[in-house]
Every structure is written in C-alpha cells, then in structure tokens.
C-alpha cells in the first residue's frame, strides 16, 4: 500500500534496523522500544490488522510465530517474552499494517493498561 509506513519499510523507502527477513515476513526493531528487546514482525503483504486474518493469510501468521520464537531464542530471551498485536482503535493500534510486537529482556506486567 502506497502510504503505509510499514509497506515503505518493506520496500526500503524508510530505513529500519532489521533483525530477520525472508520472502514473506520482516522483523525489525521498534523505533519506540518499550522493553530492552522490542521487535516488530510484519507480513510483507499488506494486511490491515488482526481483524483481517483469515484462511487466505493464516500461513503468513504462522510464519510470524515460528520466526519470532527463533529470534527470541537467538537474542537470549530464554526467561520469557511476550508477543502481542494491537487491533483497531480500542486495541491501541497506531499503524494500520498487521504487526506483532515481541517484548522481552525485563519482567513484563500483566494485564497491560
Ligand atoms: P501499534 O501501536 O501496536 O500500532 O504499534 C506501532 C509501533 O510501530 C509503535 O510501537 C512504534 C512503531 N513504529 C511506528 N513507526 C515506525 C517506524 O517508522 N519505524 C519503526 N522501526 N517502528 C515504528
């Protein structure tokens, strides 16, 4: 999508601190980290939010979780981590391209605000 920030990162039009990339997904560091490790994992294809996950793109979402587990291990998050996706206005979503936050490196509080 032309004016989507994360699509621009996928196309290389905006720089990002990339941690992992393949044909389907991209993992990069969040510009406003909320934990010592704070990554974002996105499908390269534009999907607006978790509300648009369906049978046609569920494989992409599976790839997200597989690769986040690999990256979490590689980054030494053996004590644990959190994967979260904010969906829509009430969910606190600010970028309209499906993304999964991976947070770790400190004790995380639950429930979040
Ligand atoms: P959310 O509020 O769940 O939609 O999370 C969006 C996240 O995206 C937020 O933590 C900040 C991050 N973010 C926004 N713009 C950029 C950017 O241009 N680069 C990077 N690396 N992260 C961004």
Cβ contacts of 30 within 8 Å, gap of 6 or more: 38, 39, 40, 101
Cβ contacts of 70 within 8 Å, gap of 6 or more: 20
Angle at 27 between CA 90 and CA 57, to 5 degrees: 65
d(CA 86, CA 2): 22
Pocket test for ligand 1, best of 32, 39, 41 (most atoms within 8 A of CB): 32
pLDDT tens for the chain, 113 residues long, are: 889 999 999 999 999 999 999 999 999 999 999 999 999 999 999 999 999 999 999 999 999 999 999 999 999 999 999 999 999 999 999 999 999 999 999 999 999 97
Whether residue 31 has its Cβ less than 6 Å from ligand 1: yes
d(CA 47, CA 58): 11
**How is residue 6 annotated by DSSP?**
H
């Amino acid at each position: 999508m032309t004016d989507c920030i994360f699509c621009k990162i996928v196309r290389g039009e905006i720089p990002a601190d990339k941690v992992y990339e393949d044909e389907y997904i991209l993992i990069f560091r969040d510009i406003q980290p909320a934990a010592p490790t704070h990554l974002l994992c996105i499908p390269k294809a534009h999907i607006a939010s978790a509300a648009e996950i369906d049978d046609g793109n569920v494989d992409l979402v599976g790839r997200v979780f597989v690769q986040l587990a690999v990256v979490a291990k590689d980054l030494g998050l053996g004590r644990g981590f959190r994967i979260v996706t904010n969906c829509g206005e009430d969910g606190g979503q600010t970028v309209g391209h499906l993304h999964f936050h991976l947070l770790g490196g400190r004790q995380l509080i639950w429930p979040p605000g």
